[in-house]
Structure 1
Amino acid sequence: NTRLAHQSLLQVVMISAHRASTLPPQAADSGVVTSMRSGVGEELHHCNGDMHPLRIDVLTLAAHRRQVWVRLLVDRLTAARPDVKVRVLDAEEATVGLGVESKRQQPHVLINRVSDAAAPALAKATVTLLSAAEARGVRVINGSRCYGIGMSKLLHHVMLDGAGLATPRSVVCRRLPPDEETLAGLRFPVLFKPNSGGFGAGIVRLDSEAELKESVAIGAVKMGEDGMCLLQEYVAPARQETFRVWVAGGTVQCGVRIWHSQPDDFGGCMSAACR
């Protein structure tokens, strides 16, 4: 499943590389269609005549530089075309898009692989780097808008609702304990969810308003680092499973099923489950 996910990302990268390269727009567009239908190999066939160095930067956390999701991506990119030049940049020190370097030194494509659960200061710096690269005309994959959505459970629900997908009723809280107006019509049990953060951290099931108030009083529940949280009506799954699905170009690429040993395990980390 990890390899399938990277194959999907590689397709997106090479499509972006086409559009950022010196190929005529018509050739790039036809290459996109071919890639979606036949895979990266066929798309690269359209690129054989364009042998200018294709510069791709991968932005990640220093601690993740040697992790499989970065190493496999770099290996696939460098194997895709002989003229691909890949740099792995540590988000803690990178200045991509902010310097005065000429366009000849800028990457054609910047791939953001920084965790959206990174420390707040580093997440802010990453957004700045991505926005600067976008403003410079660099094609960015997992750019500032996408990365910002990934940081927020509230924005997840906004996007899912916009796509017509049903989600449990949720309300946003800006203070604890929430006021009566915020709780009006909310049915318990609920899940308390910090708006920012990952790996299921801080998610707690609360069975009544009284339990909510008690949990706030003893510090058992806390706001996210952005001062927001969600209260979401709890819908018990038919089975103790979480599914993560990758979609690219409107097509489901692959999925992972995560089984939870405990009914109140609300984490959905694929890497932990796959171990």
Structure 2
Amino acid sequence: MSTPRVYVIHENPEWFPPLAAAFEAEGVPVEEILLTEGQIDLGAEPAPGVYWSRMSASSHTRGHEHSKEYTRAVLGWLERAGRQVVGGSHVLELEVSKVAQHGLLAGAGFDVPRTTAVFGTTTLKQAAADFTGGRDVPFITKHNQGGKGLGVRRFDSLAEFGAYVDSPEFEEPVDGITLLQEYLTAREPFITRVEFVGGEFVYAVRVDTSAGSFELCPADACEIPQVIAGAVCDVPGTSRPNAFEVRTEVTAEHPLVQQLRTFLADQRIQIAGVEVMETTDGRTVVYDINTNTNYNPAVEETAPASGPRSIARYLGGLLETQYAAQLTA
């Protein structure tokens, strides 16, 4: 039987190098399971180890339309076999549904954006009129299965929205669910992303949104369909200096951090980045849970702890606890 190790389940190799370096630095054996194709012998026992799923809601934008389904199959197989899975089936379902995220956050008492989920396109324009009370007030759209700012657009009038829905520019959601959401105005031009590993606070990141982009991916390898001037995403040649900075005043003792920590523990979510906006009218709105979080290299240089190294230590600790005898043999 093979030596126990950490297996990382994902579909985007470009995101993996910083994690591979972290596992190597921590001395934790690791292997990728790339779910763009493959097979499962359903009668076989999975290899011994700790499995970490970081399947992304945006996998379909990279030509991996079926990776979500592949992951569902693999996670079910692993869980039925009793393997330890971090980011298991219940977390995958949260990652790929903003409707599910909204419901859990609201149920836990967080302030969330007012949202309507619209199925299909035939009732979209009427749903927008109902959502705004027939008035021309700003609102935004999102895709239910999102990531990378998919489907996020601002509209200032119902006529503008109607023209978009009827145009070739309309962006069809991969699961057919479009979200209509209240437009929030930040008190200052940034959002905050609070990172947790093993259920514990790592650091909070200030993400500059002054350019107006909804693309908030922090990874060097993040891809966007076209070059957006001043895009928040850290793509070489397009990012602004200091778009991502550590918020040192946000610590583990911060009330919101403690509330999020309890929420993640209750939902059995071990690794996540949670996005928050502080608005002009005094609200602190929690609007996104990212369970396959990436880390910005500039932030990593100044942060009090490393996100990837924290993950490697956490998963390595789980591996050591479960397979100590085999690892030292």
| TM-score over 0.5 (shorter chain) | yes
Equivalent-residue separation in structure 1 for 2:86 and 2:162 (angstroms): 42
Q: Give 1:61-100 correspondences, 5 Å limit.
A: 61=11, 63-64=13-14, 66-69=16-19, 71-76=20-25, 79=27, 85-95=29-39, 98-100=41-43
The percent of aligned pairs where both chains have the same amino acid is 25
Residue 211 of structure 2 corresponds to: 262
Distance 1:112 1:227, change over 3 A: same
Contact 1:161/1:167 (<8 A) preserved:
yes
Listed one character per residue, the Cα deviations across residues 56-103 of structure 1 (whole Å, up to 9, x for unaligned) are: 22222263375213x1343255x25xxxx432222224446x44334x
Equivalent-residue separation in structure 2 for 1:109 and 1:252 (angstroms): 22
Distance 1:239 1:205, change over 3 A: same
Equivalent-residue separation in structure 2 for 1:113 and 1:192 (angstroms): 25
Letter in 2 for 1:255: A
Equivalent-residue separation in structure 1 for 2:43 and 2:158 (angstroms): 56
Distance 1:65 1:74, change over 3 A: farther
> How many angstroms does 1:133 deviate by?
0.8
Matched, 1:239 2:188: yes
Judging by fraction of residues, say which structure has more helix: 1
Tell me the C-alpha RMSD between the 2 structures.
Answer: 2.6
> How many angstroms does 1:164 deviate by?
1.0
Residue among 124, 127, 148 paired with 1:178 = 124
Equivalent-residue separation in structure 2 for 1:56 and 1:174 (angstroms): 39
> How many angstroms does 1:182 deviate by?
6.5
Letter in 1 for 2:180: L
Contact 1:109/1:140 (<8 A) preserved:
yes
Contact 2:56/2:96 (<8 A) preserved:
no
Residue 169 of structure 1 corresponds to: 114
Unaligned stretches of 5+ residues in structure 1: 1-51
> How many angstroms does 1:224 deviate by?
1.0
The SS at the match of 2:94 is helix
Residue 150 of structure 2 corresponds to: 201
Contact 1:189/1:234 (<8 A) preserved:
yes
Matched, 1:118 2:49: no
The SS at the match of 1:116 is coil
Residue among 137, 141, 145 paired with 2:90 = 145
Equivalent-residue separation in structure 1 for 2:160 and 2:128 (angstroms): 16
Equivalent-residue separation in structure 2 for 1:165 and 1:86 (angstroms): 36
Residue among 195, 210, 214 paired with 2:163 = 214
Unaligned stretches of 5+ residues in structure 2: 220-232, 235-295, 298-329
Equivalent-residue separation in structure 2 for 1:270 and 1:145 (angstroms): 25
Length-normalised TM-score, structure 2: 0.58
Listed one character per residue, the Cα deviations across residues 22-60 of structure 1 (whole Å, up to 9, x for unaligned) are: xxxxxxxxxxxxxxxxxxxxxxxxxxxxxx954322222
Equivalent-residue separation in structure 2 for 1:54 and 1:159 (angstroms): 34
Is 111-120 or 182-191 further displaced after alignment? 182-191
Q: Give 1:215-230 correspondences, 5 Å limit.
A: 215-230=164-179
Q: Aligned pair count? A: 214
Equivalent-residue separation in structure 1 for 2:106 and 2:59 (angstroms): 26
> How many angstroms does 1:202 deviate by?
2.1
Letter in 2 for 1:178: L
Equivalent-residue separation in structure 2 for 1:73 and 1:131 (angstroms): 28
Equivalent-residue separation in structure 1 for 2:80 and 2:200 (angstroms): 29
Equivalent-residue separation in structure 1 for 2:25 and 2:93 (angstroms): 27
Letter in 2 for 1:144: S
Is 246-255 or 145-154 further displaced after alignment? 246-255
